[in-house]
């Protein structure tokens, strides 16, 4: 499995502004059962999309106010950013085929 780097709000904003590829932010909570189910899938996709998208995770429990600024009300949530702007969101747990179907058109 590919480890997903965990970012702070400052690091995410910097990544969103400078990344030459789309950035998929995985909003997660350590106490969230659906997050624990989704993490292995996101790790697989991180490896599969290595040259197409940058995947980072963000702990909504630790950074609640920052998560709200991103419009995240609960975890897990995946948001794909292009050019610093959100282009697609997936709320809650989704199986791998659904994530691929939703994200791939934007890569």
The residues annotated as belonging to the active site are: 32, 35
37: left (phi over 0), alpha (psi -120 to 50) or beta: alpha
Closest CA to 5 of 32, 20, 24, 19: 24
Q: 3-state class of 40 per DSSP?
A: helix
């Amino acid at each position: 499995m590919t480890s997903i780097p965990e970012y702070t709000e400052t690091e995410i904003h910097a990544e969103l502004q400078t990344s030459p590829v789309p950035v998929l932010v995985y909003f997660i909570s350590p106490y969230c059962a659906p997050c624990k189910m989704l993490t292995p899938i996101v790790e697989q996709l991180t490896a599969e999309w290595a040259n197409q998208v940058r995947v980072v995770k963000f702990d909504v429990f630790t950074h609640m106010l920052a998560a709200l600024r991103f419009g995240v009300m609960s975890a897990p949530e995946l948001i794909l950013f292009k050019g610093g702007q959100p282009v697609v969101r997936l709320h809650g747990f989704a199986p791998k085929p659904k994530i691929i179907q939703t994200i791939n058109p934007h890569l």
